[in-house]
A and B are shown apart, each in its own frame.
Chain A
Amino acid sequence: YGVTLPGWKKAKLTYRIVNHTPDMSKEDVDKAIQKAFKVWSTVTPLIFTRIHEGIADIMIAFGTKAHGHCPRYFDGPLGVLAHAFPPGSGFGGDVHFDEDEDWTTGSAGFNLFLVAAHEFGHALGLSHSNDQGALMFPNYAYVSPSEFPLSPDDISGIQSIYGSPPNVPDKRPASPTSPKTCGSQISFDAITTLRREVIFLKGRHLWRVYPDNSAVERELISTFWPILPPGIEAAYENMKDQILFFKGNKFWVISGYQVLLGYPKNINTLGFPKGIKKIDAAVCNKNTGKTHLFIGDKYWRFDENSQSMEKGYPRRIVNDFPGISQKIDAVFQQKGLFYFFHGSKQWEFDPTAKKVIREIKSNSWFNC
């Protein structure tokens, strides 16, 4: 990603749609613009408010060729679709769309929502990315508007300017988490970190836990990743802002909302011998760049830097993780410590000291 510094010095920004394209209904234009702003407000502390007259921070207009006092001009159909200016006064933050294009809500012509989301990236201080999967890549690429259009590169870029959204859910739980989750016999299929959250998976559901404020949200796995089957058996977040999900002898690599092309793959491609049919649990130690993959009473170690399985494995779990003697259902790392789960119990383990610190109930993260 690239940035144009400084960004806006305030979190509340106004926008005004100066005119509309006749290609779409006014309502569709308004919706596309609003949705495009929401893309960025989802991942930053920024709040966007529409005004209908006067000077807004971000003035949005459709024009052709030389338009108004704009120092840049359009070129007729195709070619340049739109342009925007970095944060500032005057033209700063403004976004212009080429009216000689065919603007649409779908895949025909050019999707206004997608182009607007890209241009708003510029209006907020991003320049072009050479990551071809990024929204801020300069060339137009249609993706279904039902997919979240930002790549990890886009999110890293905008958060480098404005930071991440406040880590507070819209509604704090009025009461502790439901009895179902807090049942004393709760166990999990797999657990992984996802940036600052911890994701617990069981059956078709997942729980999103914000450890810093004990907030918990329960969702269907398919809401985020429709391609994943229920009953995921292992999951871990690697060093590249991706999550690997395992079920049977297959695994998926997911970046944001999207599964990387070519997945699922067979776990053999990671370097496992052919006899291995499934993984019980996995965790990447962010401090060392090594991923531990647990199967039965043994584990393998995968070097994330060289992307290869290390020699000398498998090794017995109990030898290198004294005190972890049960089969591992799930494991994750938080603040350097490992949390191993079996049934309704979890063990907090210090990988540096190589010892169990304490045994806790498996639902300790759920504000029960």
Chain B
Amino acid sequence: LPVHPENDNKEDDAKLVQDYLNKFYAVEPDPNQLGWKINAESTAEKLQKMQQFFGLKVTGKPDTETLETMKKPRCGVPDVGL
């Protein structure tokens, strides 16, 4: 059977979310070592941070509004970290 239109883009959306969070929500300062550590937060936790930053509904899930925000042209500097 043809794939339902709603399921067509699920893989793309998942990749978009992962790429976005890796680029902009993946690092944080290590308070113990004055250096950096790879963020051990889950994808859902990072997504919540992103949603909170952008004033979106904080669900930890990639809803339509969150995906639309992720697709917008933006600066390449991470939103978390230094």
Contact = CB atoms under 8 A, between A and B. Distances in A.
Interface string B36-60: 0000000000000000011100000
B55 A140 contact: no
A81 B72 CA distance: 10
A175 B6 CA distance: 74
Interface in A31-69: none
Contacts of B74: 79-81, 138-140
B77 interface: yes
Nearest to A85: B77
A84 B73 contact: no
Interface in B2-44: 23-24
Contacts of B73: 78-81, 101, 110, 139-140
Contact of B75 (A78, A101, A118, A132): A118
A79 B23 CA distance: 11
Given A86-B82, A139-B72, A128 B77 contact: yes
B76 A81 contact: yes
A122 B54 contact: no
A84 B55 contact: no
A127 interface: yes
A128 B82 contact: no
Nearest to A83: B76
B76 A80 contact: yes
Given A127-B82, A130-B53, A82 B69 contact: no
Nearest to A130: B53
B82 A138 contact: no
Contacts of B75: 80-84, 115, 118-119, 122, 128, 138-140
Contacts of B76: 72, 74, 80-83
Contacts of B24: 138
A119 B77 CA distance: 9
A86 B76 CA distance: 13
Interface string A71-100: 010100011111110100000000000000
A104 to B, nearest CB: 13
Interface in A102-144: 110, 115, 118-119, 122, 127-128, 130, 132, 138-140
Contacts of A82: 75-76
A242 interface: no
B33 to A, nearest CB: 17
Q: Which of A81, A83, A122, A128 has the most CB of B within 10 A?
A: A128
A4 interface: yes
Contacts of B72: 139-140
A214 to B, nearest CB: 43
Contacts of A81: 73-76
A74 B74 CA distance: 12
Interface core residue of B23, B69, B72, B77 (most chain A CB under 10 Å): B77
A53 B53 CA distance: 40
Contacts of A118: 75
B77 A130 contact: no
Nearest to A73: B76
A285 to B, nearest CB: 32
Interface of A: 4, 72, 74, 78-84, 86, 101, 110, 115, 118-119, 122, 127-128, 130, 132, 138-140
Interface of B: 23-24, 53-55, 69, 72-77, 79, 81-82
27 contacts: A72-B76, A79-B74, A80-B23, A80-B73, A80-B76, A82-B75, A82-B76, A83-B75, A101-B73, A110-B73, A115-B75, A118-B75, A119-B75, A122-B75, A122-B77, A127-B77, A127-B79, A127-B81, A128-B75, A128-B79, A138-B74, A138-B79, A139-B73, A139-B74, A139-B75, A140-B73, A140-B75
Given A84-B77, A127-B81, A128-B53, 6 more contacts: A80-B74, A81-B76, A83-B75, A86-B82, A139-B69, A140-B73
